[in-house]
Chains A and B, each alone.
Chain A
């Protein structure tokens, strides 16, 4: 087997994996209020009570995701309202649950415009206290929170696009986000430049290998 064949097979493996991974359909975020991967704090909402918080409601949101814990055998249902500053409201609900965990519920209609001063309320319409994961306190005792400090959390809310999407369709949105907070001159173009450099590096590597591995 020649060196060219080895490089070709390697490239083929990488290219096939890239296509598979980038074509994977998953729920994608429009935004999130979370600063943590695993929350170190839970916020309870007792039966019949309501908990509200201010959040940015990103454009394009068609679903929300929260992380729910139960005190008893079951919890909920929970009514979720998203009130925009102009007074219009979108509603959704979390049905009664017997298992804790991640909950994704659709929001209708899809949020057309970003609202920086939205008010999100969770009303526990069930008979047991329920808990929601917080958005700021990292997992207690973990690397990001070695001192187990408790912060002033809101309920963690991940805002999702209405349908599952591939990376291909999300790429323009990623480019926009990529350019927001890097340098004074960055913009979406920077993302495409990085992809271009990665491609050039790959070409240079293949050329170098083909020259070096052919010579004695």
Chain B
């Protein structure tokens, strides 16, 4: 046991200092978001807070059902005058009224319906947040919420730490490019915004980054028992957090198959690693499912939707589904029935990536999105140049690249299929949100690193530094946009 602990400690000490600095930057950035965004103005934060509160107060996850907030949840919402498109109180008198509503009196903290849309999620993220809740159990409800937000911000650090390590495995000969990619991820505004709120996406993003790191390492150094167990553990944590992780499962399965197939000489370690990954993934999940059904009389994901817990399984026609998927990601073809009132890749995914905040009801002015598109086009060209310059190395690593394509395709498909199911039960409504694609943030980091490499050996570092500064500016302007939305 102590040997394993020493091994873990040694592994931690091998993590480069730059990785820790990148992670610290991500945490500080997310903490800024946690402070700037008013309480409850993160998507579904009321429901996620309700889940944590129920778990922390009773020791049991809530049961899905109609929304019924706890007295304390409702008091905070009333004191804030919470409305999705509204603003928090500005006047000192309103602040004092809020304090009278939430301070110094015993008000109910538990109600079975307090987690509403979040109730069907598995409990792992909420158990983590419950630690912060319990540490500040005696504090006011808004103080507890803030503590939980800061705990969530730590997950942004974990996401960036694993992204850094993933990029080091991916581009081992140019470590500076890994730093550039990791910093671009650390400053991605949607990561800071989501991780700065109480939302189970935060843990999913950390899991996705860890999975990318483990797969890249396995392709670089070979799959073994330890790495297989790590991959399984990451998937198990994801499955016990939110079904979004399912989008990464097909790509991971493909990776394991390819790793066993191309294992040099003795295939036993790779096969053992695969078995370990499968076992460590499935056993905790099945155990939780058993506990839920036998002891708690409830059911959670992945029977619910991949993107949102409000999505239920619903059958549609295959051609309709294919048309929907096509139009969600590509331009509509003339013979297709118009599924979207707008061009979804631009309106939802691109503009969302540039930045939509609050309950995704405000973002940058259109001109800024157009400038963002122009910058993105330049980055695409640079990345293409980078790919061409490193074509032989990339060709040699085709199985690994195929896996990244499969991972990206899996996340896209899982998101869109869930969105289609939602669209069927709620016609005219669209469940797509950019945040569901954020498990691919590690690949975004790789894309930025590749763009820097595309500028060539002479200018690559300068372009990398320039891109990081732009990413930082993007983050600062996103924070200012949020300040403007809520306080001016």
**Chain A residues with a Cβ under 8 A of chain B:** 1-7, 9-11, 13-14, 17-18, 21-22, 28-29, 31-32, 34-37, 56, 58, 114, 116, 136, 138, 141, 143-144, 146, 167, 170, 174, 176-185, 190, 193-194, 197-198, 200-202, 204-205, 208-209, 211-213, 215
Encoded as 1 (CB less than 8 Å from any A CB) or 0, chain B from 81 to 110 comes to 101111111111111001100010000000
Q: Which residue of B18, B28, B79, B146 contacts A201 across the interface (Cβ within 8 Å)?
A: B28
With A10-B465, A209-B465 known as contacts, the answer to whether A181 contacts B176 (CB < 8 A) is no
Q: Which residue of A193, A197, A213 contacts B465 across the interface (Cβ within 8 Å)?
A: A213
Q: Which residue of A114, A143, A209 contacts B179 across the interface (Cβ within 8 Å)?
A: A209
Q: Which residues of A contact B95 (CB under 8 A)?
A: 179-181
A14 touches B18 (CB 8 A): no
Q: Which residue of A4, A14, A36, A180 contacts B476 across the interface (Cβ within 8 Å)?
A: A14
Encoded as 1 (CB less than 8 Å from any A CB) or 0, chain B from 9 to 44 comes to 000000000100110110011011001101100000
With A28-B488, A35-B86, A208-B22 known as contacts, the answer to whether A13 contacts B483 (CB < 8 A) is no
Identify the stretch in B208-216, B280-288, B355-363, B387-395 within 8 Å (CB) of chain A at 4 or more residues. B355-363
B465 touches A185 (CB 8 A): no
A37 touches B88 (CB 8 A): no
Q: Once bound together, how far apart are the Cα atoms of A174 and B18, in whole Å?
A: 35
Q: How far is the CB of B443 from chain A (nearest CB, A)?
A: 21
Residues of chain B at interface, number, CB under 8 A: 69
B468 touches A181 (CB 8 A): no
The verdict on B183 contacting chain A, using a C-beta distance below 8 Å, is: yes
Q: Which residues of B contact A197 (CB under 8 A)?
A: 28, 31-32
A37 touches B361 (CB 8 A): yes
Q: Which residues of B contact A190 (CB under 8 A)?
A: 35
A177 touches B487 (CB 8 A): yes
With A13-B470, A143-B360, A201-B28 known as contacts, the answer to whether A185 contacts B81 (CB < 8 A) is no
B473 touches A182 (CB 8 A): no
A37 touches B362 (CB 8 A): yes
B476 touches A198 (CB 8 A): yes
Encoded as 1 (CB less than 8 Å from any A CB) or 0, chain B from 402 to 427 comes to 00000000000000000000000010
A58 touches B87 (CB 8 A): no
The verdict on B462 contacting chain A, using a C-beta distance below 8 Å, is: yes
Q: Which residues of A contact B83 (CB under 8 A)?
A: 35-36, 136, 138, 144
Q: Which residue of B25, B32, B86, B362 contacts A194 across the interface (Cβ within 8 Å)?
A: B32
With A35-B86, A204-B24 known as contacts, the answer to whether A3 contacts B465 (CB < 8 A) is yes
Tally of contacts, chain A with chain B, CB under 8 A: 185
Q: Considering the complex, which residues of chain B in the window 416-473 have a beta carbon less than 8 Å from any beta carbon of chain A?
A: 426, 428-429, 458-459, 461-470, 472-473
B25 touches A204 (CB 8 A): yes
B183 touches A31 (CB 8 A): no
Q: Once bound together, how far apart are the Cα atoms of A5 and B469, in whole Å?
A: 11
Q: How far is the CB of A192 from chain B (nearest CB, A)?
A: 11
Q: How far is the CB of A135 from chain B (nearest CB, A)?
A: 9
Q: Which residue of B25, B428, B462, B477 contacts A2 across the interface (Cβ within 8 Å)?
A: B462
Name A146's closest neighbour in chain B (CB-CB).
Answer: B429
B183 touches A180 (CB 8 A): no
Q: Once bound together, how far apart are the Cα atoms of A183 and B89, in whole Å?
A: 12
B488 touches A170 (CB 8 A): yes
Q: Which residue of B93, B103, B472 contacts A14 across the interface (Cβ within 8 Å)?
A: B472
Q: Is the interface of B mostly helix, strand, loop or mixed?
A: helix
Q: Which residue of A21, A174, A176 contacts B477 across the interface (Cβ within 8 Å)?
A: A21
With A177-B487, A181-B98 known as contacts, the answer to whether A144 contacts B465 (CB < 8 A) is no
Q: Which residues of A contact B64 (CB under 8 A)?
A: none
Q: What are 14 A-B residue pairs whose CB atoms fall within 8 Å in the complex?
A: A10-B465, A11-B469, A14-B470, A14-B473, A35-B86, A36-B83, A180-B95, A181-B89, A181-B142, A184-B142, A194-B32, A197-B31, A211-B18, A213-B465
Q: Once bound together, how far apart are the Cα atoms of A180 and B96, in whole Å?
A: 8
Q: How far is the CB of B192 from chain A (nearest CB, A)?
A: 10
Q: How far is the CB of B249 from chain A (nearest CB, A)?
A: 30
Q: Once bound together, how far apart are the Cα atoms of A14 and B83, in whole Å?
A: 33
Q: Which residue of A56, A178, A182 contacts B483 across the interface (Cβ within 8 Å)?
A: A178
A208 touches B183 (CB 8 A): yes
Q: Which residues of A contact B176 (CB under 8 A)?
A: 212-213, 215
Q: How far is the CB of A69 from chain B (nearest CB, A)?
A: 19
Q: How far is the CB of A180 from chain B (nearest CB, A)?
A: 4
The verdict on B479 contacting chain A, using a C-beta distance below 8 Å, is: yes
Q: Which residue of B90, B362, B429, B469 contacts A31 across the interface (Cβ within 8 Å)?
A: B90
User: Which among B36, B84, B85, B176 has the greatest number of chain A C-beta atoms within 10 A?
Assistant: B85
B468 touches A209 (CB 8 A): yes
Q: Which residues of A contact B312 (CB under 8 A)?
A: none
Q: Once bound together, how far apart are the Cα atoms of A181 and B141, in whole Å?
A: 12
The verdict on B296 contacting chain A, using a C-beta distance below 8 Å, is: no
With A21-B477, A183-B143 known as contacts, the answer to whether A3 contacts B103 (CB < 8 A) is no
B479 touches A198 (CB 8 A): yes
Q: Which residue of B36, B88, B463, B467 contacts A180 across the interface (Cβ within 8 Å)?
A: B88
Q: How far is the CB of A56 from chain B (nearest CB, A)?
A: 7
Q: Which residues of A contact B87 (CB under 8 A)?
A: 32
Q: Considering the complex, which residues of chain B in the window 44-95 have a beta carbon less than 8 Å from any beta carbon of chain A?
A: 79-81, 83-95
4 closest cross-chain pairs (CB), A and B? A10-B469, A6-B462, A14-B473, A35-B86
A184 touches B91 (CB 8 A): no
The verdict on B175 contacting chain A, using a C-beta distance below 8 Å, is: yes
Q: How far is the CB of A61 from chain B (nearest CB, A)?
A: 13
The verdict on B480 contacting chain A, using a C-beta distance below 8 Å, is: yes
With A143-B359, A143-B360, A182-B35 known as contacts, the answer to whether A35 contacts B85 (CB < 8 A) is yes
Q: How far is the CB of B141 from chain A (nearest CB, A)?
A: 9
Q: Which residues of A contact B81 (CB under 8 A)?
A: 35
Q: Once bound together, how far apart are the Cα atoms of A185 and B103, in whole Å?
A: 12
Q: Which residues of A contact B401 (CB under 8 A)?
A: none
Name A36's closest neighbour in chain B (CB-CB).
Answer: B85
